[in-house]
Amino acid sequence: MRVVLVGMPGSGKSTVGRSLAHRLQLPFADSDAAIEQRLGCAIRDYFDREGEAAFRDVEQTVIDELTQGPPGVLATGGGAVLWPLNRQHLHERGTVIYLRSSPETLFRRLRHDTKRPLLQVDDPLARLRALYAERDPLYRQCAHFVLDTHGSSMSMLLGRIMMQL
Protein backbone atom coordinates (compact mmCIF):
# COMPACT_ATOMS: atom_id res chain seq x y z
CA MET A 1 0.00 0.00 0.00
CA ARG A 2 1.17 3.52 -0.77
CA VAL A 3 -0.39 6.54 0.93
CA VAL A 4 0.48 10.02 -0.32
CA LEU A 5 -0.16 13.26 1.53
CA VAL A 6 -0.56 16.49 -0.42
CA GLY A 7 -1.42 19.99 0.74
CA MET A 8 -0.12 23.45 1.41
CA PRO A 9 3.08 24.14 3.35
CA GLY A 10 2.25 23.92 7.05
CA SER A 11 -0.75 21.62 6.55
CA GLY A 12 0.93 18.87 8.58
CA LYS A 13 1.91 16.43 5.81
CA SER A 14 5.20 15.38 7.41
CA THR A 15 3.88 15.16 10.97
CA VAL A 16 0.72 13.27 9.99
CA GLY A 17 2.71 11.15 7.52
CA ARG A 18 5.19 10.03 10.15
CA SER A 19 2.45 9.05 12.61
CA LEU A 20 0.45 7.31 9.91
CA ALA A 21 3.49 5.32 8.79
CA HIS A 22 4.07 4.28 12.39
CA ARG A 23 0.44 3.21 12.75
CA LEU A 24 0.50 1.25 9.47
CA GLN A 25 3.96 -0.18 10.14
CA LEU A 26 5.17 1.17 6.80
CA PRO A 27 8.29 3.16 5.92
CA PHE A 28 7.91 6.94 5.75
CA ALA A 29 9.43 9.18 3.06
CA ASP A 30 9.37 12.94 2.66
CA SER A 31 10.02 14.25 -0.86
CA ASP A 32 11.60 17.49 0.44
CA ALA A 33 14.05 15.53 2.61
CA ALA A 34 14.89 13.23 -0.33
CA ILE A 35 15.47 16.28 -2.55
CA GLU A 36 17.78 17.90 0.02
CA GLN A 37 19.69 14.66 0.35
CA ARG A 38 20.13 14.50 -3.40
CA LEU A 39 21.11 18.16 -3.76
CA GLY A 40 23.37 18.14 -0.72
CA CYS A 41 21.98 21.52 0.35
CA ALA A 42 18.86 23.15 1.76
CA ILE A 43 15.94 23.66 -0.65
CA ARG A 44 15.97 27.35 0.17
CA ASP A 45 19.63 27.68 -0.94
CA TYR A 46 18.94 25.76 -4.14
CA PHE A 47 15.94 27.98 -4.90
CA ASP A 48 18.08 31.10 -4.37
CA ARG A 49 20.85 29.81 -6.59
CA GLU A 50 19.01 27.97 -9.40
CA GLY A 51 15.43 29.24 -9.28
CA GLU A 52 12.07 27.54 -8.86
CA ALA A 53 11.94 25.82 -12.29
CA ALA A 54 15.20 23.94 -11.61
CA PHE A 55 13.86 22.88 -8.21
CA ARG A 56 10.63 21.58 -9.81
CA ASP A 57 12.67 19.43 -12.20
CA VAL A 58 14.49 17.75 -9.33
CA GLU A 59 11.21 17.41 -7.44
CA GLN A 60 9.59 15.64 -10.37
CA THR A 61 12.44 13.13 -10.68
CA VAL A 62 12.41 12.39 -6.95
CA ILE A 63 8.62 11.96 -6.86
CA ASP A 64 8.72 9.69 -9.88
CA GLU A 65 11.28 7.50 -8.10
CA LEU A 66 9.62 7.54 -4.69
CA THR A 67 6.24 6.53 -6.14
CA GLN A 68 7.73 3.49 -7.84
CA GLY A 69 9.61 2.20 -4.83
CA PRO A 70 8.35 -0.15 -2.13
CA PRO A 71 5.07 0.55 -0.28
CA GLY A 72 5.04 3.32 2.29
CA VAL A 73 3.71 6.71 3.32
CA LEU A 74 4.93 9.70 1.30
CA ALA A 75 4.68 13.35 2.31
CA THR A 76 5.12 15.67 -0.68
CA GLY A 77 6.23 19.30 -0.96
CA GLY A 78 3.39 21.81 -1.19
CA GLY A 79 4.10 22.61 -4.84
CA ALA A 80 4.40 19.03 -6.04
CA VAL A 81 0.91 19.14 -7.58
CA LEU A 82 1.80 22.04 -9.88
CA TRP A 83 3.13 19.73 -12.56
CA PRO A 84 0.43 17.63 -14.28
CA LEU A 85 2.77 14.63 -14.53
CA ASN A 86 3.30 14.66 -10.76
CA ARG A 87 -0.46 14.79 -10.18
CA GLN A 88 -0.91 11.83 -12.49
CA HIS A 89 1.90 9.76 -10.96
CA LEU A 90 0.74 10.43 -7.41
CA HIS A 91 -2.90 9.67 -8.20
CA GLU A 92 -2.16 6.47 -10.09
CA ARG A 93 0.46 5.09 -7.76
CA GLY A 94 -1.05 5.71 -4.36
CA THR A 95 -4.05 6.68 -2.27
CA VAL A 96 -3.73 10.45 -2.20
CA ILE A 97 -5.04 12.43 0.76
CA TYR A 98 -5.31 16.21 0.65
CA LEU A 99 -4.81 17.76 4.07
CA ARG A 100 -6.75 21.00 3.69
CA SER A 101 -6.17 24.00 5.90
CA SER A 102 -7.19 27.63 5.36
CA PRO A 103 -4.54 30.23 4.49
CA GLU A 104 -5.22 31.93 7.85
CA THR A 105 -4.50 28.73 9.80
CA LEU A 106 -1.38 28.09 7.72
CA PHE A 107 -0.22 31.63 8.39
CA ARG A 108 -0.58 31.16 12.15
CA ARG A 109 1.60 28.04 11.93
CA LEU A 110 4.19 29.46 9.55
CA ARG A 111 4.50 33.13 10.51
CA HIS A 112 8.02 32.64 11.92
CA ASP A 113 9.16 30.19 9.26
CA THR A 114 12.46 30.91 7.51
CA LYS A 115 12.85 27.62 5.63
CA ARG A 116 10.28 28.03 2.89
CA PRO A 117 11.54 30.22 0.04
CA LEU A 118 8.07 31.09 -1.29
CA LEU A 119 7.07 32.63 2.03
CA GLN A 120 10.08 34.92 2.43
CA VAL A 121 8.09 37.96 1.29
CA ASP A 122 6.74 41.15 2.92
CA ASP A 123 3.19 39.81 3.17
CA PRO A 124 3.26 36.01 3.69
CA LEU A 125 -0.49 35.87 4.39
CA ALA A 126 -1.28 37.42 0.99
CA ARG A 127 1.17 34.97 -0.58
CA LEU A 128 -0.49 32.02 1.19
CA ARG A 129 -3.91 33.20 0.00
CA ALA A 130 -2.68 33.43 -3.59
CA LEU A 131 -0.96 30.02 -3.44
CA TYR A 132 -4.08 28.49 -1.89
CA ALA A 133 -6.33 29.94 -4.61
CA GLU A 134 -4.05 28.52 -7.28
CA ARG A 135 -3.44 25.14 -5.69
CA ASP A 136 -6.62 24.09 -3.88
CA PRO A 137 -8.20 22.91 -7.18
CA LEU A 138 -4.99 21.03 -8.06
CA TYR A 139 -4.83 19.24 -4.70
CA ARG A 140 -8.48 18.24 -5.17
CA GLN A 141 -7.78 17.01 -8.69
CA CYS A 142 -4.88 14.87 -7.50
CA ALA A 143 -6.46 13.52 -4.30
CA HIS A 144 -8.75 10.57 -3.68
CA PHE A 145 -9.88 12.11 -0.36
CA VAL A 146 -9.96 15.60 1.11
CA LEU A 147 -9.44 15.88 4.85
CA ASP A 148 -10.17 19.16 6.56
CA THR A 149 -7.59 19.59 9.32
CA HIS A 150 -9.42 22.43 11.06
CA GLY A 151 -10.01 21.67 14.73
CA SER A 152 -8.83 18.06 14.44
CA SER A 153 -6.28 16.49 16.75
CA MET A 154 -3.65 14.14 15.37
CA SER A 155 -5.51 11.08 16.61
CA MET A 156 -8.75 12.28 14.98
CA LEU A 157 -6.95 12.85 11.69
CA LEU A 158 -5.30 9.44 11.83
CA GLY A 159 -8.62 7.79 12.62
CA ARG A 160 -10.29 9.50 9.67
CA ILE A 161 -7.45 8.50 7.34
CA MET A 162 -7.53 4.88 8.51
CA MET A 163 -11.26 4.74 7.74
CA GLN A 164 -10.58 5.73 4.12
CA LEU A 165 -7.84 3.19 3.43
In the complex, residue closest to ligand S3P by CB: 77
* Bridge partners of residue 74, in order along the sequence: 4, 29
In this structure, is the dihedral angle defined by the CA atoms of residues 24, 26, 31 and 32, taken in order, positive or negative?
Answer: positive
115 is in an annotated binding site: no
What is the per-residue burial (b if ≥16 Cβ within 10 Å, else e) of 108-120? eebeeeeebbbbe
12 is in an annotated binding site: yes
Q: Which is nearer to ligand S3P, 59 or 163 (CB)?
A: 59
Q: Which is nearer to ligand S3P, 35 or 161 (CB)?
A: 35
CB of 53 to ligand S3P, least distance (A): 12
**What is the contact surface with ligand S3P in residues (CB under 6 A)?**
9, 32, 43, 77-79, 116-118
Q: Which is nearer to ligand S3P, 43 or 74 (CB)?
A: 43
Taking CA atoms, 60 is separated from 63, 90, 143, 144, 160, in Å, by: 5, 11, 17, 20, 29
Taking CA atoms, 16 is separated from 23, 54, 87, 160, in Å, by: 10, 28, 20, 12
Within 10 A of 38 (CB to CB), how many other CB atoms are there? 12
CB of 91 to ligand S3P, least distance (A): 18
Q: Which is nearer to ligand S3P, 10 or 94 (CB)?
A: 10
8-state DSSP, 52: H
CB of 165 to ligand S3P, least distance (A): 22
CB of 76 to ligand S3P, least distance (A): 7
Q: Which residues are annotated as a binding site?
A: 10-15, 32, 56, 78, 116, 135
Q: Which residues are annotated as a binding site for substrate?
A: 32, 56, 78, 135
